[in-house]
Structure 1
Amino acid sequence: MSRPTADSANAESPSGKFPKDPRHHRATYGIAYPTADTKFETKADLARLSFEDGERGKLDAKKVYWRLSGATITDVVFRECNFHTTHGREASVISSLTFEKCDFTSCFLGFVVFRRTTFRGCIFSRCEMSRTEFEECTFENCTFHYCTPWDAVLQRTLIDPPALLSGFDVPTENLRVLVEDKRKGIEERRLRARVALAEQILRSNEERRNAIYCDRALYESRRAALKWRSHERRSKSRWQRVRDLPGFLLSFAYLHLTLGGTSLKRLFAVAALICLGITAVLVSGACGITVRETPAGAMSFLECLSAAGSLFFAFGYTNLAAPGDLGSVIITIPPMLGMAWSAIVLAVIVRRAYR
């Protein structure tokens, strides 16, 4: 696994050089780096996080040292806390802890290695997560809002892909003071980073063998890649955009019809709609289409539906005939669509069988 070097950490992490986070692309831009320390070395130290009368525990603007393991921290609000405590020399390590129903607001989580840590029902708001590493961690029912996991690393970590990816965004107020070119540069970098993060989430969930999260991760990975592809198309010439349009539209259709190659529901719905459309044409007798020499418009609905299915799946459709060029086109296009549909269905079935 890659580790942040001392030079890179000094360049990006709170090392005392700046009193506040100076980086516009990070969620904690403008937040003061904590100077006061608090250490949790034994479970008895966690009593400092508790309040009477059922209020939530709070910890504001502290540099937090976690020296204990095997403990559960419940219902605590961490606000503007810094979990990176090595002053840029190396990554901080937090191991074997459970955070339950905790809120992390404007916290510095970058350059921290979380190992075998569980987050259950936690909310992350405007948290900086540059080069944060999660090893064998678990996120259960967690939400993220305006967090910036730039170059985050996930290994054998179980996490709901849409939760993290939808929360990967730079706060709008961070970008208002920047010129247009810099804003566009940050947005472009974010799109690239989302592609890399989505691929990591997919691989991480596959290592944990969670089928539901793997399907979601595959969809999010292909969705992020398609968004990046759409962004790249804007910088191309008009001729290049026209030339790439068919492939882009096919990728778009595949993504949304199969949810990234994970579902067959929409494909079967599309097949049903196409067959019903063909049935309507046969029932109405439009274009003079005949089946088994039956006069156009003289067949029952069920007979037309059966013929429509045969036409779409290219099985026995030679019994259909239509005069003129328009009729020939009408009875030629559905089998082509049906063969493409069958190929997509087969690909999805194979993936689901061998995932």
Structure 2
Amino acid sequence: MVTQSFFEHHFNFFSANLAVNANSGSTDRPTHLEFAAGNYEYDAFLLLLRHKRGDSSSASTKCLRFLKEYDQLKHTPLHLAAVRAYLQEHENILTRHPLLIINVVLSMLQARAQEYVRWRQELYSIEARLGITRNLDGLRRSLYPDVDYDFTGLNADLAGIARMIIDNELSASTILEHAEALQRVVAICEKYERAAAVPARNSPAGAAWEESFVTSEQFEEINSTITRAKLCLKHVKMTQDVLQSLTAALYNRINKQDTQSMETIAVVTLLFLPATFVSAIFSTGIFRFHAGEADGNGRVISRFGWIYLMLCLLLTSLTLVGGWCGTCGEECGWIG
């Protein structure tokens, strides 16, 4: 299956025209233009067109359309009825300029693919769930969700938005390539159509008329498609920058939570480590707390147990105070 978009065109000549042109010594002129445009990236479609060159009354276009209606990754399938309805909405311009059928289809794909408002809403939702914005109260008043601590869900949502942005960027760049290629095709057709209106083609005035650029309705329609595609790419760049900052903020939150967990473990360790240390020393047999007592004495706790308790409390206090002083010293710049 083709995975890249394509746009190609070529001219066809009638043999009769070739003979007439050869006898008259004039330059051969195409009578028909055939080209194909396809996109297999966002909304899959293929258009095969045959355009008959002529003036505004005789120009005509025959179009063969292929659409991939269903796709596992699509939320809204591209139905043929929707394309037909969109073409009927632009019936006036297609009647005047049949060649613009490809531009009308491209504008429809733009309407389906480029969703700036949805991107912004998704980003605001992630900001509210991360709680990293100063406008958190305003987002809550706008009914955005509260701070969420489900980091797995947040990461999945960020990945989904990133994928959506990539798809839209690919669609916009493809539409831009198609529109620019169509603009070149329209320029060729208009050049030949204008040349027929020049009375003296070999004169300097006639040559200047052929080479001049005349702004037409066709060019304006294609330029609007190109402008929208370029604006979409700018929105994509801005959204990707914001998305990158939100991803960094998510990982900072994850690291902060891990750091807090490690601090909790460290505090618990500091509480129990001195008592464990003292117990390990007293259990070595160096100290005999039941020495001098009768063998039949049933006492379980030695009368010197207060020594153990005092040492544990003293060492635990010294450890906690030392750790607190070290932390404050690093924050204030006294240490390191």
TM-score range with shorter-chain normalisation? under 0.3
TM-score by length of 1: 0.23
Structure with a larger share of its residues in strand: 1
Q: Pick the structure with greater CA Rg.
A: 2
Report 1 or 2 for greater relative contact order, CA contacts < 8 Å, sequence distance ≥ 6: 2
